[in-house]
Structure 1
């Protein structure tokens, strides 16, 4: 298992408000399955961060690309492997 940081850059704040409930529901389901280490918005409103727990970059990318914010293009995904020290 490894950690992957999904940085979700804000693209459309209005659309973001509409999509947010589906985004939260999606992450709640993954959290129950043990696939989310941390999550939350940036204080300056420019997006947010989800740290996924996955077996590979491919799995993390699949999880991140299924996020409603990414699917509906209210936020842009940037994914990086993250080392927990």
Structure 2
């Protein structure tokens, strides 16, 4: 399993407010099934970051495209394969 850091820069603030509950529910579901390791918004309001777990870039992108923020045009996305190094007490 690989990790992918997905940046979600703001595209449409109104849509982001409108679809936030669906976005958060989607991420909670993906956390519960092990496909999201972490997520959170940037304090300056410019967007957020999701750490996905997936077999490949394509599998990660398929998950990202199902996020209501992406599907509804609220956010853009950038995906980076991430070779994570974890602290001993982080997992």
Q: Deviations over 1:10-58 (max 9, x none)?
A: 0111110000000001111111110111100011100000000011111
Aligned counterpart, 1:14: 14
Structure with higher Rg: it is: 2
Counterpart for residue 89 of structure 2: none
Structure with bigger strand share is 1
Question: Any unmatched runs of 5+ in structure 2?
Answer: 86-91
Normalised by the length of structure 1, the TM-score is 0.96
Alignment of 1:1-85 (within 5 A): 1-85=1-85
**Deviation per CA, 1:50-85, whole angstroms, max 9, x where unpaired?**
000011111101001111000011100111101112
How many angstroms apart in 2 are the aligned matches of 1:28 and 1:80?
Answer: 21
TM value normalised by structure 2? 0.90
Q: CA RMSD in A?
A: 0.7
The count of corresponding residues between Structure 1 and Structure 2 is 85
Structure 1 unaligned segments of length 5 or more: list them: none
